[in-house]
Chain A
């Protein structure tokens, strides 16, 4: 057979391409659910690590099914807010309606454009509120989850992840436990710009709303700093108000105590 014939060549390539496309489509549809489950479990691990429900090592050692169960046991409610700080929607907390990290990118754009954003807030048991952050690192996106104590300004925990930061340098935002642990107990100054900082010599100055950036990963730290500030700004009205009311409540409680003492 003459395999150099034009008609043969065209038909041959067409058949090869159709077969390959069919194989790939079949495999993608077969493996899709498993991949989806992995991505969802990954998102939940990161959220629950920030919320401090279990240690990061335990969460990463657990099977997907256990992660889903743990989430169902600990989540209380989830809703979305707009840039005005008002609630503008409910999020389902059922296991098959988990918002993946890929949903953060359009939200990031909405924040920058000051458009209609639906920013998620997840409330876990004990009143821990978890919010996402998203931004650009050195090589690709960086994102994370920040958990707030019920007082609305103390950070209860954090978890960061990235797509392709340099291993051993920028990748430390995920790999090194000490980095995320540094956020615990720090406070966010709602209303100030910036509300939170990633900078040099924080330990020396003792600032409460800042964390040491990573040496050797200047660009990743810068990107993360920007991501934190853009997203904190977006959540400012929601949490800032919450923090304000909490403060008022705290004051009035203190007054009652004083009143009692006077009596």
Chain B
């Protein structure tokens, strides 16, 4: 049991990472990784949404009519996303970041990781493992987001969390700021990930 729980938590972060292995949630990974602060808030929001949606759907799993299960899941996920957005807008410290992330918080609804985990895991498992699975997948997603944002903010603006790290003489690279570079960076991360983990290599 403990072994299974450990796997539930570690697998989505490493071997089954939603971005680098399953290649889900790429859209937002390109859009919100220009600055670390935004990426971090986005990651936390996704963790909250995946965790709570999985928990609720798992609690309801025996009552949901099979023919409308996707619709019911969608309603639950949409509710969580709106809640997260409302809370971010209400906090004095998070208001500015919510403005910066603009539509991307709302677009968590369309993030395949959320619905994917509900379909694949929460509907067939007990609430607590489902909650952990959701959180772990959010973490796996967030980890990649933060890594990409680290390089993009450093090379694109010469700053980290808004503080200047590189000297003023460094000319910020505009390509890094544009979404295509995030795709290149993601490709590199997937490459490194596969080089380290032999199990992921295809023959």
User: Which residues from chain A sit less than 8 Å from chain B, CB to CB?
Assistant: 3-5, 8-9, 12-13, 16-17, 20, 23-24, 27-28, 31, 34-35, 38-39, 42, 60, 63-64, 140, 163-164, 166-169, 216
Contacts and interface: CB of A to CB of B under 8 A. Distances in A.
A24 B83 contact: yes
A168 B68 contact: no
B79 interface: yes
Contacts of B100: 167
Interface stretch (B58-66, B121-129, B140-148): B58-66
B79 A163 contact: no
A69 B52 CA distance: 39
A260 B43 CA distance: 73
A42 B92 CA distance: 10
Query: 5 tightest A-B contacts by CB?
Result: A168-B177, A34-B90, A31-B90, A167-B34, A9-B65
A63 B65 contact: no
A181 B86 CA distance: 34
A3 B61 CA distance: 11
A23 B80 CA distance: 10
Contact of B79 (A23, A42, A168, A216): A23
A250 B174 CA distance: 48
B72 interface: yes
A24 B75 CA distance: 12
A196 to B, nearest CB: 27
A4 B65 contact: yes
A12 B63 contact: yes
A26 B177 CA distance: 39
Contact of B95 (A8, A16, A42, A168): A42
A39 B172 CA distance: 32
B67 A9 contact: yes
B83 A27 contact: yes
Contacts of A13: 65, 68, 71-72
5 contacts: A12-B65, A16-B76, A31-B90, A34-B92, A164-B102
Interface string B156-177: 1100000000000000101001
A216 B156 CA distance: 13
Chain B interface size, under 10 / 10 to 19 / 20 to 34 / 35 or more: 35 or more
A16 B75 contact: yes
Given A3-B63, A168-B34, A163 B102 contact: yes
A169 B34 CA distance: 11
B82 interface: yes
Given A167-B177, A169-B174, A27 B92 contact: no
Contacts of A24: 79, 82-83
B1 interface: no
Nearest to A1: B63
B20 interface: no
A16 B34 contact: no
Contacts of A38: 89-92, 95
Interface string B102-130: 11000000000000000000000000000
B195 interface: no
A12 B67 CA distance: 12
A223 B80 CA distance: 36
Given A4-B67, A12-B63, A23-B79, 20 more contacts: A4-B66, A5-B65, A9-B68, A12-B72, A16-B72, A16-B75, A20-B78, A27-B83, A28-B86, A31-B90, A34-B90, A34-B92, A35-B89, A38-B89, A64-B92, A163-B102, A166-B178, A167-B34, A168-B157, A168-B177
B65 A27 contact: no
A63 B72 contact: no
